[in-house]
Chain A
Amino acid sequence: MTALDLTPAPGAAPFPRMVLAQAGAEVRATLRNGEQLLLTMIIPVLLLAGFSLAPLVDIGGGSRVAFLTPGVLALAVMSTAFTGQAIATGFERRYGVLKRLGATPLSRAGLLLGKTAAVIAVELIQVVVIVAVALALGWRPHGSFPAAALLILAGTAAFSGLGLLMAGTLRAEATLAAANLVYLVLLGAGGVIFPLSKFPAGVRPVLELLPISALAGGLRAVLAGGAVLPLGALAVLTGWAVVSLALASRTFRWE
């Protein structure tokens, strides 16, 4: 029988180490989960390759891959920060994982920071894969990369807020259904693959206020149009982020 030194020696690990440990566990869980991979990697890459190679949608002239890549990048951000995070967090709540972690020295702020770091790490992998596929398909990006990164960060905050708002209030099964439904609706109506100009003029101003349209449109303006920084899109994303994060922090139930 192994002897264990059970003498009390309590103490919390340094905060950054706790956050990194949690982020690492979340990244591993995402990359190991088949449905998550389908959502975050396979669907975006298939959409990018499929719609770039085959003239299935009328994008109104110009290079198809140049139009599609910013939209697919926006979709990738939404799939990780919103859909994936909402479903994973909803089930963590349901299985008592959030409760159990609350009994460790990892604070709630630390847990959320760990989740955010994990989302950003997965997004980095997505961006590398999508950009590689796009370059292979003949994409020649131009424009400001810091501006694109800033838009992605603002989009991540907005989608995380919405995802956590859902995960912290609905039952896990309801979150699963709703997060997938919202993903599909926003994929169809958010300017990811189908240009907003193809929608009736009456609904377009409403669609442009969706976080996915702001992110896809903003990235497109930078990476395809060479815009310095699309302030309108950034403002829409920041608005969604502030409102959703404030609501989520007020309504989130840990159990």
Chain B
Amino acid sequence: MDLPAVEIIGLVKRYGGTTAVDGLSLRAERGAVTAVLGPNGAGKTSTIEICEGFRKADAGTVRVLGEPPADPALRPRVGVMLQSGGVPPATRCAEWLRLVSRFYARPLDSGALLLRLGLAEHGRTPYRRLSGGQQQRLSLAAAVIGRPELVFLDEPTAGLDPQARHACWELVGELRGAGVSVVLTTHHMDEAERLADHVVIIDRGKVVAEGSPATLTGAERQLRFRARPGLTLEELLNALPAGSAAKESPAGHYIIEGLVGPELLATVTAWCASEGVTADDLRIERRTLEDVFLELTGRELR
């Protein structure tokens, strides 16, 4: 079967006068990890919750494993981790996982899963007494316990400490290895860069870029350094080979793009000498997903 795990075409979702999702289209392949990346309020959760069958689309088509999201036959096939909550506060950790496991025909062993996620010694702890990170891990466990074909994880590592984040990443890697399709939302670039086969960057309810992390960041390298803010870059640009670019962003941070090699490096350092500035933290590197993300979605806080 060649059906994608998720296929969305022209999705629109409005809440009163605000349009949260504005003609969004995306495709998540089977057996792959797809990361939906976007700033707060970009429409990530709305999109995911429509795929999970919690909300209705105002326009567009959504197919999950080839079926409409509300199809009850999808429930055993799809695992869901909500952004927060979903567990009665007084219910004990192990009890909740055991309850959820009883809804499935061939669940994972809940004890083994708790052990795997470092929750075994908290089995008798009521949900409200778990730390934020432990609550997240319990939700993650509940999303995978039914051995689903597809898992939706809405900000799975929000509020996790580094160890728990790595445990979560490892589990996502294992899911992928076992042939499970994973769709996750995040605003951690490193998470998307590290986990995802396919990254979809969305902003204001639309897809602004997508591709593998490598395609998005590009093969191009950059030369970066710090120096006093406000240097005039005209002379440098004249000295650089055609097709190069130089900019200051943010103030005091200079980025030179183009054919980064010994000659370019020599030109830049010569120019620095003529300007009488020392280039601090001079380095050559690839663009990061964060650069791409900030370029596309802007720097202002929302």
**A interface size (C-beta, 8 A):** 35
B301 within 8 A of A: no
Question: Given known contacts A9-B106, A11-B104, A18-B102, is B180 in contact with A2 (CB within 8 Å)?
Answer: no
Chain B: interface size category = 35 or more
Question: Given known contacts A6-B147, A103-B53, A105-B76, is B103 in contact with A12 (CB within 8 Å)?
Answer: yes
Question: Please, what's the 1-or-0 string for B129-152, where 1 marks a CB less than 8 Å from any CB in chain A?
Answer: 000000000000010101111000
- What is the chain A residue whose CB lies nearest that of B84? A96
Is A99 a contact of B54 with CB atoms below 8 Å?
Answer: yes
A interface list, Cβ under 8 A from B: 1-2, 4-13, 17-18, 21-22, 25, 28-29, 32-33, 91-92, 95-97, 99-100, 102-107, 255
Is B146 a contact of A104 with CB atoms below 8 Å?
Answer: yes
Chain B neighbourhood of A33, CB < 8 A: 90
B210 within 8 A of A: no
Is A10 a contact of B99 with CB atoms below 8 Å?
Answer: no
Contact of B75 among A96, A99, A103 (CB under 8 A): A103
B242 within 8 A of A: no
Distance between Cα atoms of A1 and B166 in the complex (Å): 14
Q: Nearest Cβ in chain A — how far from B110, in angstroms?
A: 11
Chain A neighbourhood of B17, CB < 8 A: none
* Interface core residue of A8, A13, A18, A96 (most chain B CB under 10 Å): A8
Is B76 a contact of A21 with CB atoms below 8 Å?
Answer: no
Distance between Cα atoms of A17 and B243 in the complex (Å): 68
Chain B neighbourhood of A5, CB < 8 A: 108, 147, 178
For the complex of A and B, the 9 pairs showing the least CB-CB separation, nearest first, are A11-B105, A100-B86, A21-B102, A96-B85, A6-B178, A103-B80, A9-B147, A8-B149, A10-B77
Question: Given known contacts A17-B102, A22-B99, A96-B85, is B149 in contact with A2 (CB within 8 Å)?
Answer: no
Question: Given known contacts A100-B80, A103-B80, A255-B54, is B174 in contact with A25 (CB within 8 Å)?
Answer: no
Chain A neighbourhood of B93, CB < 8 A: none
B50 within 8 A of A: no
Chain A neighbourhood of B89, CB < 8 A: 95
20 of the cross-chain contacts (CB-CB < 8 Å) are: A4-B113, A6-B175, A8-B179, A11-B105, A12-B103, A12-B104, A13-B103, A29-B90, A95-B89, A96-B84, A96-B86, A97-B88, A99-B86, A100-B80, A103-B54, A103-B80, A104-B75, A104-B146, A105-B103, A255-B54
Chain B neighbourhood of A28, CB < 8 A: 95
Chain A neighbourhood of B95, CB < 8 A: 25, 28
Additional A-B contact list (4), CB under 8 Å, known A91-B88, A97-B85: A4-B116, A12-B103, A96-B84, A103-B54
B244 within 8 A of A: no
Which residues of chain B in 93-131 are interfacial with respect to chain A, using CB atoms and an 8 Å cutoff?
Answer: 95, 99-100, 102-106, 108, 112-113, 115-116
Question: Please, what's the 1-or-0 string for B63-86, where 1 marks a CB less than 8 Å from any CB in chain A?
Answer: 000000000100111101010111
Chain B neighbourhood of A9, CB < 8 A: 105-106, 147
Q: Nearest Cβ in chain B — how far from A1, in angstroms?
A: 7
- What is the chain A residue whose CB lies nearest that of B178? A6
Is A13 a contact of B80 with CB atoms below 8 Å?
Answer: no
- What is the chain B residue whose CB lies nearest that of A92? B88
- What is the chain B residue whose CB lies nearest that of A33? B90
Question: Given known contacts A2-B112, A4-B116, A255-B54, is B88 in contact with A105 (CB within 8 Å)?
Answer: no
Q: Nearest Cβ in chain A — how far from B297, in angstroms?
A: 28
Which residues of chain B in 157-202 are interfacial with respect to chain A, using CB atoms and an 8 Å cutoff?
Answer: 174-175, 177-180
Chain A neighbourhood of B100, CB < 8 A: 104
Chain A neighbourhood of B75, CB < 8 A: 12, 103-105
Question: Given known contacts A5-B178, A7-B179, is B112 in contact with A95 (CB within 8 Å)?
Answer: no
Chain B neighbourhood of A103, CB < 8 A: 52-54, 75, 78, 80, 82
Distance between Cα atoms of A2 and B178 in the complex (Å): 15
Question: Given known contacts A103-B53, A105-B103, A106-B103, is B108 in contact with A10 (CB within 8 Å)?
Answer: no
- What is the chain A residue whose CB lies nearest that of B102? A21
Is B54 a contact of A2 with CB atoms below 8 Å?
Answer: no
Chain A neighbourhood of B108, CB < 8 A: 4-6
- What is the chain B residue whose CB lies nearest that of A91? B88
- What is the chain A residue whose CB lies nearest that of B105? A11
Distance between Cα atoms of A154 and B19 in the complex (Å): 47
Chain B neighbourhood of A17, CB < 8 A: 102
Is A10 a contact of B103 with CB atoms below 8 Å?
Answer: no
Is B102 a contact of A105 with CB atoms below 8 Å?
Answer: no
Distance between Cα atoms of A92 and B96 in the complex (Å): 14
Distance between Cα atoms of A25 and B76 in the complex (Å): 20
Is B88 a contact of A1 with CB atoms below 8 Å?
Answer: no
Distance between Cα atoms of A8 and B33 in the complex (Å): 15
Chain B neighbourhood of A97, CB < 8 A: 85-88
B91 within 8 A of A: yes
Distance between Cα atoms of A146 and B278 in the complex (Å): 95
Q: Nearest Cβ in chain A — how far from B48, in angstroms?
A: 11
Is B77 a contact of A32 with CB atoms below 8 Å?
Answer: no
